[in-house]
Structure 1
Amino acid sequence: MAGSQALTGTLGFLYLSDEFENDLPDLLAELKLRVDVQHWTGCVGIGICATAQEYLDQPALALMVTDFPESDFTVFSGMTTVLSTQPPLLNGVPPYFAIVHGDPATSALPELVQHCAGMTQSGFITGGLSSSRGKGAQIADKTLHGGVSGVFFTDQVAIATRLSQGCSPIGPVHIIGEAHSNVVGTLDDRPALDVLYEEIGEVLARDLQRAAGYIFAALPVQNDDRGDYTVRNLIGVGTDQKVVAIGEYIEPGQALMFCKRDGGSAREDMLRMLDELEKLVAGRSIRGGLYFSCLGRGEGLFGPDSAELRLIESRLGHFPLVGFFANGEISHDKIYGYTGVLTLFLGD
């Protein structure tokens, strides 16, 4: 890995704020001329992450250069449907892991993410969806838009990764009864809106606009023994029918719970994640890292002075780190919201 020194290697990660999006093709061409690295991956974000420093809604660029053997990775792009690509082979076998960037406007994006994960031996990928007031450009040796792109790795590239939630449950898990598209009609055979009102309390129930920025729906991940869940926005209610609309298509029989976005619980879960990673990497060096955090986190959830990024350095030490504030975070084979996904590249 290389930070600001000796920028020569095989694969570079580049994340830049959307103020530079129109200049990205020229910037990438200039980098290839000035830096002895021909393969690049990354994307555009409204906020950029670096070692112990975040740059939200301001011009910034962060890059990290790696020296992985070229036989241990391959950059991919142009994946827009699950039918258009076959698993690549690295050293004659399917890849083990991948870092993936995506365009949130792409149709069937959840299926594409699952497809990417399914192309790996581990079934596990990490990454993030571009966030931009422009077109949300990605980088895969060149500038591109739409679909997903990134880099596949063999199992010779040692990694450790974990996810931290930014929301915490406020009630029990419910079973969806009546449902259509993204509208929940009943939970545990009761009107969904009655259940929501009961759990958020009378004050928030009287001000649903305020509740929409604080209360969310959470869909527990099936067959997960860690209690993992994906968070989705509450996008509307129907007071006459007593229904609740969420930012995800759902079906009868699915589990659902309500959760709150809370700085204290987010910090607590962040420390839990870092504790787990500290144990995982014990006795090994951290050569570099990638951090993909939700736009709803950062200063608004953790406080000023790059508190979220400084937590990582305080627990794991100083190492090169780049990333961005995403419009959706990727971990395992799913797209999350309000999470932080940290991936570490390990040495001996």
Structure 2
Amino acid sequence: MKWASAISEQPELESAIDECAASLRNQLDGSPANLAVVFASSHYSHNYEAIPDLIRQALRGEDDPPMVLGCSGGGIIGNGQEVEQRPALSITAASLPDVTLTPFHLAGDSLPDLDAGPSSWEELLKVSPTDAPQFVILADPFSFPVQNLLMGLDFAFSGAAKIGGLASGGQQQNGNALFLGNRVHRSGAVGVALHGNITIDTVVAQGCRPIGKPMRITQSRQNMLESLDGETPLTILRGLYPTLNERDQGLMRNSLFLGVVMDEFLDDPQQGDFLIRNVMGMDDRSGSLAIGEMLKEGQLVQFHLRDADTSAQDLAAVLDRYAGDNRENQAQGALLFSCLGRGQYLYGRPNHDTDLFRDKLGSVPLGGFFCNGEIGPVSGTTFLHGYTSSFGIFRPRL
């Protein structure tokens, strides 16, 4: 297994692909590219249709051309570099001699019913749980029910890593591009199942820190949070506010989130055990909150805050934890799916997350893009996130 990543800011598409291909060939040092993951900014939108074939030709060796997977992006990541608001194209390529790649394109109306059995999902994706597949998924935010796909994949392929993001760069339906093989799709979802001598480790940084203490939901209705430990959420927040410093009081007013513990057997949750969801609104009369997630009575929750410093600390913490758990560091390549709201918009400078990744894990080839939503697991269940950096780290299984 060998990975490589390259990025180009050449404004002409063919020049950008040629520049990336030359760098990739040098990094792969004669190993054939079996997979090429491409992300292209909207500056190339008039030429999206040409991208798959140009890459297949540029990276074709003596063997077959690589499987192309990718999409358009509002910001592009390649070779550990983040490029926003400028033309950029990145290709992350891999030589995978002991890995089988099974590509798929899904239309929104092609998904099995949520009460369908696992075999329906196996038939749809042409892979079996006995293959122990890992998934990279890219979807169009305007046309595809990605949460239904993630629920189905978790049901049929529990324990399998699922990582990815929602295409960006387009402002309306059919404005994004999804690349698969030699085709360009304007809707649905594309992806690849990888099985054989490969593992995808997932690292998800949601960029928040907890305030107060964990509490049980004692009353809820759909996404309405009505009672915590027998008190209204508004009462809890009014009691919490004076205990915070001035900076955190400001964040509570403007950047308040709810963390939901997804592992029902977890009584002492740590940072990273929470699914972070928006506080969407407040009812002053009842003291209840509208949350961007369906809630259940008995769930453990905790309020969270987010800002640039918190996001940086959270990412450092989860990468430190991963590095500590994987001291041999067999990582060969990685993909980063980061929110459009991160990057320069959040940190005031480029390359924050990629620099931190390099500091913690070394010079692992890293590509990716800034997404309209990020796919990654929390406590073993796969979710669609916002404001998140979701890493897929590739290493040999054996």
Deviation at 1:13, TM superposition (A): 0.4
Pick one of 336, 357, 362 that aligns with 1:291.
Answer: 336
Following TM superposition, by how much is the alpha carbon of 1:126 offset from its aligned partner in structure 2, in angstroms? 1.4
**SS of 2:332 mapped into structure 1:** strand
CA contact (8 A) 2:220 2:295 kept: yes
**Correspondence 1:25-104 to 2 at 5 A:** 25-36=49-60, 37-69=65-97, 72-78=100-106, 80=108, 81-83=111-113, 85-87=121-123, 88=125, 93-104=130-141
SS of aligned partner of 1:271: helix
Instruction: Give the CA deviation at 1:108.
Output: 4.4
SS at the partner of 1:286?
coil
- Identify the residue that residue 16 of structure 2 maps to in structure 1: none
Gap change, CA 1:277 and 1:21, over 3 Å in 2: farther
1:257 is aligned to 302
351, 358, 375: which one pairs with 1:330? 375
**TM-score normalized by the length of structure 2:** 0.76
Structure 1 counterpart of 2:47, from 14, 19, 23: 23
1:170 paired residue among 211, 228, 231: 211
Q: Counterparts of 2:214 and 2:157 in 1: how far apart (Å)?
A: 32
1:193 CA drift (Å): 2.3
Aligned pairs for 1:114-133 within 5 A? 114-120=151-157, 122-133=159-170
Deviates more, 1:301-310 or 1:288-297: 301-310
Partner AA of 1:254 in structure 2: Q
- How far the C-alpha of 1:106 sits from its partner, in A, is 4.8
Give the root-mean-square deviation of aligned CA atoms.
3.1
- Provide the secondary structure at the position in 1 that maps to 2:342: coil
CA distance in 2, matches of 1:120, 1:329: 19
Could you say which structure has the higher helix fraction? Answer: 2
- Out of 307, 310, 326, which is 2:352 matched to? 307
> Could you tell which deviates more after superposition, 73-82 or 87-96?
87-96
Task: Provide the residue aligned with 2:390 in structure 1.
Answer: 341
Q: What's the offset of the Cα at 1:198?
A: 3.2
How many residue pairs end up in the alignment? 346
The answer to whether the Cα contact below 8 Å between 1:10 and 1:70 also exists between their aligned partners in 2 is: no
Calculate percent identity across the aligned residue pairs.
25
Q: Report matched runs for 1:201-212 at 5 Å.
A: 201=242, 211=252
Q: Work out the CA distance in 1 between the residues paired with 2:132 and 2:189.
A: 17
- How far off its partner does 1:168 sit? 0.8
Asked if 1 retains the 8 angstrom alpha-carbon contact of 2:129 and 2:156, the reply is: no
Shift of 1:280: 4.5
Amino acid in structure 2 at the alignment position of 1:29: D
C-alpha separation between the residues in 1 aligned to 2:158 and 2:178?
25
SS in 2 for 1:195: helix
CA contact (8 A) 2:163 2:390 kept: yes
Q: Deviations over 1:81-109 (max 9, x none)?
A: 23464254569943421111223345643
Corresponding residue for 1:180?
221
Q: Deviations along 1:151-205, whole A, 9 cap, x unmatched?
A: 1111411333322230011122233344333322222222222323333459999
What's 1:10 paired with?
Answer: 34
Give SS of 2:135's match. Answer: strand
Distance verdict in 2 for CA 1:169–1:105, change over 3 Å:
farther
1:215–1:67 Cα change, 3 Å: same
Work out whether residues 98 and 120 of structure 1, in 8 Å CA contact, stay in contact via their aligned partners in 2: no
Contact between 1:49 and 1:322, CA under 8 Å: does it hold in 2?
Answer: yes
Query: 1:53 deviation in Å?
Result: 1.6
Structure 1 counterpart SS, 2:131: coil
* Residue pair 2:339, 2:386 contacting (<8 A) in 1 also: yes
**Equivalents in 1 of 2:145, 2:231: separation in Å?**
32
Deviations along 1:11-50, one digit per CA (max 9) or x if unpaired, are: 1101122333443212223223333134111222212222
Distance 1:92-1:234 versus aligned 2 partners, 3 A rule = closer
Deviation at 1:127, TM superposition (A): 1.4
- The letter for the 1-side match of 2:212 is G
Equivalent in the alignment of 1:198: 239
CA contact (8 A) 2:135 2:161 kept: yes
Structure 1 position 137, deviation (Å)? 2.7
Deviates more, 1:114-123 or 1:44-53: 114-123
Change (3 A) 1:249 1:159: closer
TM-score, with length taken from structure 1? 0.85
Greater relative contact order (Cα 8 A, min sep 6): structure 1 or 2? 1
* Distance in 2, Cα, partners of 1:43 & 1:201: 46
1:296 match: secondary structure? coil
Distance 1:40 1:125 in 2: 18
Q: How many angstroms does 1:55 deviate by?
A: 1.5
